[in-house]
Chains A and B, each alone.
Chain A
Amino acid sequence: EAGVTQFPSHSVIEKGQTVTLRCDPISGHDNLYWYRRVMGKEIKFLLHFVKESKQDESGMPNNRFLAERTGGTYSTLKVQPAELEDSGVYFCASSQVWNTEAFFGQGTRLTVV
C-alpha cells in the first residue's frame, strides 16, 4: 500500500514568489492534515480536511496560505507571496478516522531566499 506522498521534496524560491505544495494521502483516508516545522521549533498544525471540507484551519498563519483538497483526494497548499519566515518543512498526514493515528509523508523542505 502506498504511503502519503508529497511533491516536491525540496523547493527554493525567492521572496515574493508563489509556491504550491502537493500531498497525495493514503487511498481511502478521508482525513488529511498539513503541519509545518520551522527551524528549531516543534511541528505545528496548520489545518485539517475531512474529505473536501476544511474541518479546522486554526493553525493557518495568515491569508497568504491557501489550502485546497479537490474532490476529497489530493491536497495542495499554496503560499502567495512567500516570505522569509515561511521557510521550513511542510508535512502532510492522513488518517482513516480523525481520532486515530495519522501517517505522515516525507515532507517538503521550503526555503525562501
Chain B
Amino acid sequence: EDQVTQSPEALRLQEGESSSLNCSYTVSGLRGLFWYRQDPGKGPEFLFTLYSAGEEKEKERLKATLTKKESFLHITAPKPEDSATYLCAVQATGNTGKLIFGQGTTLQVKP
C-alpha cells in the first residue's frame, strides 16, 4: 500500500536555527513528490515538485531534496513567518492525479 510518513510531527526552532524535515514514502512507483505549506484555516499552498532521485529545488530559505526512499525539506535560518504545517505528498505511477499525503510537520519558529 502506498504510504507517506513525515517526521517529526512538530518542531520548534529559534529564529536562525536551521533544520530539516523528513518525508519517507513507500509507493509502487513514484511519479512525483510534492511539498506544500499550510497555514491555520487555509488550504495547502504549493511549494515544490520533485520527480527523480537527486533532484533539488530551492525557494528563499527552503530547499527540497529527493532520494529513492525519502525527501528532505531543509530550512535555512528560519524566520517566524516560516511557522506553518509542511505537508509532503506523493503521486504514484499508474494512478490519476491523486495525491497521497503524510500527516505533516508543524513548525514553530520563535523570535
Interface residues of A (CB under 8 A from B): 4, 31, 33, 35, 41-45, 48, 55-56, 58-59, 91, 93, 95, 98-107
Contact = CB atoms under 8 A, between A and B. Distances in A.
A42 B104 contact: yes
Nearest first, the 8 A-B pairs at minimum CB distance are A104-B43, A98-B97, A56-B96, A43-B101, A42-B103, A104-B44, A45-B98, A101-B46
Given A41-B103, A100-B49, A56 B98 contact: yes
B91 A4 contact: no
Interface of B: 4, 31-32, 34, 36, 41-46, 49, 87, 89, 91, 95-104
A33 B98 CA distance: 8
Contacts of B41: 106
Contacts of B96: 48, 55-56, 98
A59 B32 CA distance: 20
Given A99-B32, A100-B49, A105 B43 contact: yes
Given A99-B32, A101-B49, A106-B43, A42 B102 contact: yes
Contacts, number: 63
B43 A95 contact: no
Contacts of A44: 101
Contacts of B104: 42
Contact of B98 (A4, A59, A91): A59
B51 to A, nearest CB: 9
Contact of B101 (A42, A98, A99): A42
Contacts of B31: 99
B44 A91 contact: yes
B27 to A, nearest CB: 14
A33 B43 contact: no
Nearest to A48: B96
A55 B91 CA distance: 15
A48 B101 CA distance: 15
B104 to A, nearest CB: 7
Contacts of B91: 99
